[in-house]
Amino acid sequence: MSDLVVDGLVAGYGDAQVLHGVRFTVRQGEVCAILGPNGAGKTTLLRALSGMVKARGTITLGGTDLTGRPPDAVARLGVAHVPEGRGTFMPLTVEENLRLGAFVRRDRAAVARDLDRIYTYFPVLKTRLKQAAGSLSGGEQQMLAIGRALMLRPKVLLLDEPSLGLAPLVTRELFRIVQAINAEEQTTVVVVEQNAHLALGIAQQAHVLETGRIVLSGTAAEIRADEQVAQSYLGYR
Ligand code: ATP
């Protein structure tokens, strides 16, 4: 099984340590939500998992040690990161962006099949193939960013605030598609999300991160039922 196992994770920027020993496991094929206030270190956690910030401790995927490897090596080993703000190449077309996602792959026939698969999840992208990514709506850009990540055939998809700046209807559609991808491809998903309702709606497990430490872990139902979480993140009680 390709479980993602994180233990004693310490990371930060220069002298500023942001993560202070984070430990959790995401079982293969599960959706894991990371909740927490602004500045808690959620983005830094995803960056550490994808090798974008240096980390100490251990990160393993299916027993393979990812700790300290550069981002392209981590990507090759199956971890695709969709950063906050999406990271699409605005002047390039939709198709060029998607093909860039397959940069580590040489199997051209399989890449063509994967493009078709991505159009079934995101039909709108197929109608925009020759358009510059910069001309897409916010929701379409997020779809493109996820589509591009899927071109890696990842075992793990890291999603940072996918709902940022999107209308509620678009966000719901996006989460529905993420859930379909998870169900159909058994892709493990780690999602950082301000909209706790949505994230808990698709997650099996969730963790609350505060000042660089996990302060609460449980099933999505347990986390939803927690008084403190309800007050801080779900807007009731
Ligand atoms: P948000 O929801 O606001 O994005 P977050 O939980 O994702 O918050 P991070 O973005 O990981 O939190 O930030 C954690 C801490 O690290 C903050 O104090 C932030 O100021 C700091 N930080 C983030 N990025 C950098 C950087 N590139 N250089 C220096 N410090 C940074």
pLDDT (tens digit, 0 to 9) for every residue of the chain, 237 residues total?
899 999 999 999 999 999 999 999 999 999 999 999 999 999 999 999 999 999 999 999 999 999 999 999 999 999 999 998 777 888 899 999 999 888 777 788 888 999 999 999 999 999 999 999 999 999 999 999 999 999 999 999 999 999 999 999 999 999 999 999 999 999 999 999 989 999 999 999 999 999 999 999 999 999 999 888 878 877 654
For the CA of 47, the closest atom of ligand 1 is 11
Q: Is 151 exposed, middle or buried (0-12, 13-18, 19+ CB in 10 A)?
A: buried
pTM: 0.95
The type of residue at 124 is V
The type of residue at 115 is L
Q: Taking CB atoms and a 6 Å cutoff, what residues make up the pocket around ligand 1?
A: 13, 16, 18, 36, 38-44
Helix-strand-coil split of the chain, %, nearest 5: 40, 25, 35
- 37 alpha carbon – ligand 1 mean position (Å): 11
For the CA of 36, the closest atom of ligand 1 is 6
- 43 alpha carbon – ligand 1 mean position (Å): 7
pLDDT at 236: 55
Residue nearest atom 10 in ligand 1 by C-alpha distance: 43
pLDDT at 212: 98
For the CA of 209, the closest atom of ligand 1 is 6
Under a CB-based contact definition with an 8 Å cutoff, are residues 83 and 160 in contact?
A: yes
pLDDT at 1: 80
Here the contacts of 166-172 (C-beta below 8 Å, separation 24 or greater) are 166/138, 166/139, 166/142, 167/139, 170/137, 170/138, 170/139, 171/139, 171/195, 171/198, 172/198
| Alpha-carbon distance values, 42 to 167, 168, 183 (Å) | 22, 22, 24
Under a CB-based contact definition with an 8 Å cutoff, are residues 57 and 10 in contact?
A: yes
